[in-house]
Amino acid sequence: MPKPTPAFMPDRASAVPMFEQICVSFRARIRSGALETGARLPATRALAQDLGVARATVVTAYEQLVAEGYLASRRGSGYTVCAMGEVELSPGARATAPPELTERGDLLLEAGQPDMRLFPHRAWAKCVARLCRTRPEDMLSGCGRFGHPELRQAIATHVRDWRGIAARPDQVLVTSGATEALDICLHALATAEGAVGVEDPGFPPIRRFAEAQGRCTRDLALDPQGAELPTPGDGTDVVVLTPSHQYPLGGAMTAGRRQDFVRWAAQSQGWIIEDDYDSEFRYAGRPIPALAGVDGQGRTVYIGSFSKIFSNSLRMGYIVAPDGLIDRLAQAMRAKGARASAMPQAALAEFMQQGEFYRHLRRVRRIYAERHRNLIESLRAGFGDVGHVVDHQAGMQVVLHLHAAFADRPIVAAARAEGVGAEALSAYSRRAGACNGVVLGACLNDLDEQAEALIRLRRAISSTG
């Protein structure tokens, strides 16, 4: 019996490597539906013989397609075609899919959560697969204690281009997120005699970390210019600020107030910890340069995160240390046993260097801008009797400031029972009665899901009235 002709014939004269030609052929057939979900691919040995190539070439191609999510490989049953939805929803599928978030049991409008359905699975998988193929040792042992050298370089370039901070790679310390970075900075800088100034309202772990380390904290209230300066003589020697985008209220600190803090640090020999957790998400105007970029005295430690702009499950963030603090921060990292996961670092570096990261960032920024605007307009149109919103044209959350007749905590409890992950603004503050609002995530859900969430929020408010 004649052998069946292989589905394509390799072009031996082509500059495209043989394994890539095999990949291209299978990708096209899977995408077109010619190979259906669950279909078994020819055995590697058989295909290698048919094509007249080494078996290793076919194995490499199949493994690449596994990494890209086209194929699944199971011991004993070879390679089979995956459902495409397991990799990435096509635009059509996304439009018709039911709100999966509620199906997954997640809450709608959860503050600070990126929409992980937008994660660039395919580009990321390619990058990881390429690295596994070409320099696997980099993923296992190429990472130094303070981060992979290429990632430290990529971060130094990122903060220079996006945040206006001139930093060398050795000033960058990779951590497992901004939260860990905050803990490390407090460990390195807060003193037993001094006090840590924290914004109120602010990111709750900061106060917790300082107090767990036996440090006193002082509240820095917010006025229209941003956080207020520490009261002279109150012992504050470290302040933690979110100047680009105050958390959770959302405003940016004015240039004048930034200068005041830089002067305060220089005069009091204090330190500024700048938590710049989501500043890449600015939807109008130019990005506001980081405070660390304008502090010519080297008294600002900068913290960034990949949780919002890329993936919160990657658990990756970083510190950019001023020259005089590199050793102290590195020592604090050692003392705390802090160390970011090594495996994804080389891949992330390559993802950034090749521009994929920025393609993704531009894409999600566009989508989030629309969601952010929609949430604000919907709240203004439908909740004016309950409270008001301020549009800061930045960030991932929106605060509905409630009129005095409404109390945030019962509303939030009722909203959570309805599947809406709202947070009470008062939970971010230690000053009784200073804050009353509902913090809502603007990025997690598409416009249909937002509409559904607001119906539920309205029901929750009515039920508490």
Ligand X SMILES: Cc1ncc(COP(=O)(O)O)c(C=O)c1O
- Give the interface with ligand X as residue ranges (CB under 6 A): 112, 177-179, 203, 242, 247, 275, 277, 305, 307, 312, 317
Tokens representing residue 369 in the block: 């801008």
Provide the minimum distance between the beta carbon of 316 and ligand X in the complex, in angstroms, as a whole number. Answer: 7
Nearer to ligand X, 21 or 307 (CB): 307
Provide the minimum distance between the beta carbon of 247 and ligand X in the complex, in angstroms, as a whole number. Answer: 3
Nearer to ligand X, 242 or 300 (CB): 242
The type of residue at 184 is I
Provide the minimum distance between the beta carbon of 317 and ligand X in the complex, in angstroms, as a whole number. Answer: 4
Instruction: Please tell me whether residue 326 adopts helix, strand or coil conformation.
Output: helix
Q: In what order do the strands lie in the sheet with 387-388?
A: 387-388, 397-402, 437-441, 423-424
Provide the minimum distance between the beta carbon of 305 and ligand X in the complex, in angstroms, as a whole number. Answer: 3
Confirm if 239 and 273 have CB atoms less than 8 A apart.
Answer: yes
Query: CA-to-CA distance for 244 and 221, rounded, in angstroms?
Result: 16
Provide the minimum distance between the beta carbon of 114 and ligand X in the complex, in angstroms, as a whole number. Answer: 10
Nearer to ligand X, 88 or 274 (CB): 274
**CB atoms closer than 10 angstroms to residue 464:** 14
Query: CA-to-CA distance for 317 and 161, rounded, in angstroms?
Result: 17
Phi/psi for 343 (5° steps) reads -55, -45
Place of tokens 């900068």: 302
Strand-strand pairing, 397-402 and 387-388: antiparallel
Nearer to ligand X, 62 or 277 (CB): 277
Provide the minimum distance between the beta carbon of 364 and ligand X in the complex, in angstroms, as a whole number. Answer: 16
Phi/psi for 441 (5° steps) reads -80, 130
Provide the minimum distance between the beta carbon of 110 and ligand X in the complex, in angstroms, as a whole number. Answer: 11
Nearer to ligand X, 22 or 272 (CB): 272
Nearer to ligand X, 69 or 147 (CB): 147
Which residue of the chain is nearest ligand X when measured via CB?
A: 177
- Quote the DSSP letter at residue 389: -
Confirm if 387 and 376 have CB atoms less than 8 A apart.
Answer: no
- Among 404, 408, 449, smallest CA distance to 426 is for 408
Nearer to ligand X, 208 or 380 (CB): 208
Nearer to ligand X, 112 or 293 (CB): 112
| Alpha-carbon separation of residue 158 from 3, 20, 31, 280, 366 (angstroms) | 55, 31, 35, 10, 19
Provide the minimum distance between the beta carbon of 203 and ligand X in the complex, in angstroms, as a whole number. Answer: 4
